[in-house]
């Protein structure tokens, strides 16, 4: 008869109403013990979830309220031409799926190009144009620059 015992609905209801966290051994609750969609923001401590708890590429436009497109790009451009102090030019990076009117955030990813700043980034069809300015006091060639780009639409 061992293992054949099935608790009555009344006994299960009693257990559900009277078992508290003090009755549960620490570290014993598993994912399958939690009903889907039952862990809410109020159940998670402030700053308890950081980048180390989020899988790479697991956050997309559908997880961000009001965002309909979210793309991450990296682009490398090389130029041996010197640019005088205060002058600017445009580097274009191919970006499939980008459309005119999309919003863009772009940064220079490497620290070897300290004389150059992005003054504006603009999306066009399948392209991101970055306006680069020489912010140093002398003419400098940018050499190879790597950009990190986020394209999004709301």
Distance separating alpha carbons of residues 120 and 129, to the nearest angstrom = 8
* Residues 37 and 77 reside in one and the same domain: no
Q: Check pLDDT > 90 for residue 123.
A: yes
- What's the pLDDT score for residue 111? 64
- In this structure, is residue 116 part of a structural domain? yes
- In this structure, is residue 35 part of a structural domain? yes
Distance separating alpha carbons of residues 152 and 1, to the nearest angstrom = 62
Mean pLDDT of 93-120: 89
Residue with tokens 């989020």: 54
Q: How far is CA 2 from CA 9, 11, 85, in A?
A: 19, 18, 86
Q: How do residues 33-56 score in pLDDT, each as one tens digit?
A: 888 888 887 888 887 777 777 776
Mean pLDDT of 11-22: 75
* Residues 87 and 37 reside in one and the same domain: no
Percentages (nearest 5) of helix, strand, coil residues in the chain: 15, 35, 50
Residue 74 lies in domain = 61-153
**Greater pLDDT, 22 or 3:** 22
* Residues 68 and 33 reside in one and the same domain: no
Domain count, the chain: 2
- In this structure, is residue 52 part of a structural domain? no
Question: Encoding tokens for residue 121?
Answer: 């980034």
Question: Encoding tokens for residue 146?
Answer: 């790597």
* Residues 119 and 67 reside in one and the same domain: yes
Mean pLDDT of 122-138: 94
- In this structure, is residue 49 part of a structural domain? no
Mean pLDDT of 60-76: 86
- What's the pLDDT score for residue 6? 64
């Amino acid at each position: 008869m061992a293992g054949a015992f099935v608790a009555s609905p009344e006994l299960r209801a009693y257990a559900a109403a009277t078992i508290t966290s003090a009755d549960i051994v620490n570290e014993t609750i598993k994912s399958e013990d939690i009903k889907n969609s039952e862990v809410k923001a109020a159940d998670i401590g402030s700053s308890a979830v950081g980048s180390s708890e989020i899988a790479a590429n697991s956050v997309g436009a559908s997880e961000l309220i009001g965002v309909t497109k979210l793309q991450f790009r990296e682009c490398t451009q090389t130029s041996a031409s010197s640019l005088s102090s205060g002058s600017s030019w445009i580097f274009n990076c191919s970006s499939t799926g980008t459309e005119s009117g999309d919003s863009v955030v772009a940064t220079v990813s490497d620290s070897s190009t300290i004389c150059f700043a992005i003054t504006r980034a603009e999306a066009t069809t399948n392209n991101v144009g970055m306006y680069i300015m020489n912010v140093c006091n002398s003419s400098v060639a940018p050499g190879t620059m790597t950009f990190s780009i986020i394209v999004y639409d709301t």
